[in-house]
Amino acid sequence: MAVVEWKGIKWKAAHGDLSVPELLTILKGFGPMEVLEFENPGCYRGQLSLCLTEEGKKEISLYIFEVLGPKRAGIGRAALHHLRKMFKGELYVEDPGIIRVEKATEESLLFWVKMFREGLVDAVDWEDISLYPGMSGAELARIEEDLRKSMESQRSVAGK
């Protein structure tokens, strides 16, 4: 299986086998949509797909994302900023039902709400939560409050 280092990140096909030229073509936005695994060793890793819309815009769909370094150190935010800048496209976080978002806890969902508020992700789509462009501040606040209440409830049940 080919692995290519491109813009400081190691890339490979998540499913199947792609050659180095095929990987580079996809990464540059000219190939077919493929799910790719990526890793910035010691910092973060995940899976995403890239595609072009009918209008010629790039869309990045992030399926798995894991920070490998210390949490709350800004690594996740910096990684998302780097991916957006690298691909110059809209970033969607989604769980299409086939690839399950790993360890999607309320705490990680709060991270995605924060990244959505900051404009680092354009939409979040999971089984129980959808954040989308044009969403009202009140809707977003309600989702955030529900997540916080759920976390508090789980802590009290666990006796923490």
List of E strands, 19-122: 35-40, 44-52, 58-67, 90-94
pTM of the model: 0.84
Can you tell me the distance from the alpha carbon of 35 to that of 18, in angstroms, rounded to the nearest whole number? Answer: 11
For 82-117, write each residue's pLDDT tens digit. 999 999 999 999 874 444 444 556 677 888 899 999
Domain boundary assignment for the chain: 4-158
CATH class of 4-158: alpha beta
